[in-house]
Amino acid sequence: MFFSESRIKEIEEIKKRYPEGRHKSALLPVLHLAQADHSWLSVDLMDEVARLLKLEPIEVYEVASFYTMFHLKPVGKYVIEVCRTGPCCNVGAEELIHHMEDKLGIRIGETTSDGLFTLKTVECLAACGTGPVLQIGPEYHYHENLTPEKFDQLISELRAKA
């Protein structure tokens, strides 16, 4: 079972947002729910989404692979996504990214060996006035005006929570 009963109900509700026969529109919202429940989208999970929405599996794969938010490989418990776009780099994002890699002992795209953190870069998060900025999945909370010290503190808090 990939989805709880209440999730299935939620998915049925989402389908009603669109006109008759246009339930394919529910695909992105449902993929977000699937990822929230399972942390990443395996082929089996995508097949289940296809079945629920009465789509061909390929319709799900081609969409999941187009959008950067969907993880097609396993990720750590916390996915840390730091903005690497120009305006953030003007206020120290590159220095911060180097620090993050050193602090966690991994490079961008990798997961720590304890399975706790995955480090990724993303493009402009529409928070350029409060950069450098990162977001942490699965909730996608923004952390703004970052410094190396604030990042270290954040990591300690997450480690304590895990």
Partner 1 sequence: MGKKILLEHVDVPGIQTLEVYRKMGGYQAVEKALKSMNPDEVVEEVKKSGLRGRGGAGFPTGMKWSFLDKKSDKPRYLVCNADESEPGTFKDRYLMQRIPHMLIEGMICSSFALGARTSYIYVRGEMMYVIRILEKAIAEAYAAGLLGKNILGSDYSLDLYVQPGGGAYICGEETALLESLEGKRGNPRNKPPFPAVWGLYGCPTVVNNVETIADVPWIINHGGDAYAAIGIGKSTGTKLISACGNIKKPGVYEIELGVPVEEFIYSDEYCGGITEGRKLKAVVAGGSSVPILPADLILTTANNEKRLMTYESLSDGGFVSGTMLGSGGFIVFDDRQCIVRNLWNFSRFYHHESCGQCSPCREGTGWMEKVLHRIEHGHGKMSDIDLLVDVAKKIEGKTICPLGEAAAWPVASAIRHFRAEFEEHVRNPDSCLKKHLHREAALAH
Q: Which residues bind partner 1 (CB under 8 A)?
A: 17, 19, 22, 24-29, 31-32, 59, 62-63, 66-70, 84-87, 89-91, 94-95, 97-98, 101, 107-108, 121-131, 135, 139-142
Integer-rounded Cα radius of gyration of the chain: 18
State the minimum distance, in angstroms, from the CB of residue 160 to partner 1: 23
Among ligand FES, partner 1, none, residue 20 binds (CB under 5-8 Å by kind): none
Q: Binding ligand FES by CB under 6 A: which of 29, 87, 92, 138?
A: 87
When asked if residue 92 is in the footprint of ligand FES (CB under 6 A), the reply is no
Among ligand FES, partner 1, none, residue 32 binds (CB under 5-8 Å by kind): partner 1
Among partner 1, ligand FES, none, residue 107 binds (CB under 5-8 Å by kind): partner 1
The span from the CA of 134 to the CA of 151, in Å, is 10
How does strand 78-83 pair with strand 134-137? antiparallel
The span from the CA of 40 to the CA of 22, in Å, is 26
State the minimum distance, in angstroms, from the CB of residue 72 to partner 1: 12
When asked if residue 124 is in the footprint of ligand FES (CB under 6 A), the reply is yes
The span from the CA of 22 to the CA of 30, in Å, is 14
142 by DSSP, 3-state: which?
Answer: strand
125's tokens: 């998060």
Residue type, 8: I
Q: Which ranges in the chain belong to alpha helices (H)? A: 5-15, 27-38, 43-53, 57-64, 86-90, 93-104, 148-161
When asked if residue 133 is in the footprint of ligand FES (CB under 6 A), the reply is yes
136 by DSSP, 3-state: which?
Answer: strand
Q: Which residues bind ligand FES (CB under 6 A)?
A: 83, 85, 87-88, 124-125, 127-128, 131, 133
